[in-house]
Amino acid sequence: MASIKLILRTHQADQTGHSPLYIRIIKDRKTKFISVGIKLKETEWDEVKQRVKKNHPNSARMNASISQKVADAEAQVADLERKVKSVSVKKIKEAIKGKEVPNFFEYAYKRCEKIRGNVSIATYKNYLVYLEKFEKWTGTRDIYFDDITVSLLMDYMSYMGNTLKNGATTQRYSIMILAIMFKEAIKEDIIPEYMYPFSKLTLKKDTGKRLFLKKEQIQAMIDFKAQEGTLSCIYRDMFIFSIYAGGLRFSDVLEIQNKHFIEAEQRIKKTINKTGRLHQFKIGQVALDIIKKYQKPNSQPDDLIFPIVKNPTLFLKNKEYRYEITEKANKSANFQIQRIAKALEFPIHVSFHLSRHSFATNALNNGMRIEHVSKLMDHQDIRTTQIYAKIINEELDKAVDEFIF
């Protein structure tokens, strides 16, 4: 026989100390939870009497509502167990909640597998990472679409900001992945539109300042004495190459082959990983010198320019392998570049992606038109590029404050 009890899940407490109340069902040592739709402080809940304490101003009304929900649940369990000899705890929960509301995680993980062949490996992996992150916070896969309310999402965002110390961008992506799953479920008529809670949610935008290297710092990186052939030297050269090649992302720099470099035009022509668009642009002299440094005599068009990948054939043919190698190489590059930055006593943390910020900010500072910078960086929206223009204005304001009396 199934047992029913009310549980205050204090591990999901929000900033104000309020925790969600759930009906817990145990059957054959398996457990399911159903949200009651009420949040209480630990001091307001009597675990023994299974009631809201009188110190809560609405205790009488809330206790009446809770009692009715528990009675309804017990009636559903008794009715189901009378009709069916052997019934699972999952079936009991479905009977209480109603079959029409599907399990969120079951749908979301299946959806990820469906789209796996139609998106990049990075996108697929990111979907899984953000879903697993949400699952870890809820503490169970036993979450239905209607369990995910505005209140629950606000608690999740509070947890990401206060406990995980996630920035606004990470929080936005974490919520966006959940929203995508809801939108897909609505498209497939699996859930009704009214269940979509995200339109009532306010997501903060990242107001953090984008860092970049100034001209003299870039030159110091170029002049740094790194032993030829070492990872430190190769990654430093790739970093500098990116700055003088339109801020090309790490994955694209790693994948550059001889055939992508059109020597007669001093141009790179390559499909960009993130956007999937064919991108071509002229590169600066520093970038040209780096390519010539690494191009081998009698090299083939399909050969990779930078000697990082040990198995280029598998790397170019297998998406999964390419993703894994790129992730590892990116971490290694960040480590080596930060070591150099530390040796040069740079006051900021330097990762490979800073090459992109450094290109954009210095290009704008040197007078390049913002639409040209946007084109070189393959931005879909010029508003993304305008972030760097804002940095220039902030630097100018700072200079005025410091040097004009």
Could you tell me if residue 59 is inside a domain? Answer: yes
Residue 179 lies in a domain: yes
In DSSP notation, 102-167 reads: -BHHHHHHHHHHHHGGGS-HHHHHHHHHHHHHHHHHHT-S--BGGG--HHHHHHHHHHHHHTS---
Residue 210 lies in a domain: no
Phi and psi angles of residue 350, each rounded to the nearest 5 degrees, phi first: -115, 120
Which of these three, 141, 170, 200, is where a domain ends?
200
Q: Is residue 166 part of a domain?
A: yes
- Which of residues 190 and 221 earns the better pLDDT score? 221
pLDDT of res. 260: 95
Average pLDDT over residues 125-129: 93
**Do 363 and 259 belong to one domain?**
yes
Domain assignment present for residue 207? The answer is no
Residues 389, 317 share a domain: yes
Let me know whether 357 and 316 are in one domain: yes
The CATH number of whichever domain residue 356 belongs to comes to 1.10.443.10
CA-closest candidate to residue 382, choices 362, 366, 360, 365: 360
Residue 209 inside a domain? The answer is no
In a domain, 289, yes or no: yes
- Domain end, chosen from 42, 58, 86, is at 86
227 and 357 together in one domain: yes
Residue 327's domain spans which residues?
215-403
Provide the β-strand partners of residue 307. none
Rank 73-87, 224-238, 354-368 by mean pLDDT and report only the highest: 224-238
pLDDT number for residue 396? 46
Share of the chain above pLDDT 70, in %: 89
The pLDDT value recorded for residue 54 is 93
Same domain, 157 and 35: no
> How far is the C-alpha of 261 from the C-alpha of 270, rounded, in Å?
9
Q: Residue 395 above 70 pLDDT?
A: no
- 72 and 142 fall within a common domain: no
pLDDT tens track for 45-98: 999 999 999 999 889 988 998 998 888 888 878 877 777 667 676 767 766 665
pLDDT in tens, 6-42: 999 888 888 788 888 988 888 888 888 888 878 899 9
The tokens 């009532």 sit on which residue?
Answer: 200
CA dihedral sign of residues 332, 215, 245, 240? negative
Domain membership flag for residue 309: yes
Instruction: State whether 371 and 259 are in the same domain.
Output: yes
- Close Cβ partners of 284 (under 8 Å, ≥ 6 residues apart): 244, 245
- Total domains in the chain come to 3
pLDDT tens profile 131-168: 999 999 998 888 888 889 888 999 999 999 999 988 88
Residue 241: its pLDDT value, please? Answer: 96
Q: Is 57 in the same domain as 139?
A: no
Same domain, residue pair 349 and 233: yes
Four-point Cα dihedral 163, 165, 169, 173, nearest 10: -30
Select from 57, 86, 115 the last residue of a domain.
Answer: 86
Same domain for 301 and 167, yes or no, is no
Assign 107 a pLDDT band (cuts: 50, 70, 90): very high
Q: Are 225 and 283 found together in one domain?
A: yes
Same domain, 185 and 230: no
Confidence class of residue 384 from pLDDT cuts 50, 70 and 90?
Answer: low
CATH number at residue 119: 1.10.150.130
Q: What is the DSSP string of 310-322?
A: S-HHHHHH-HHHH
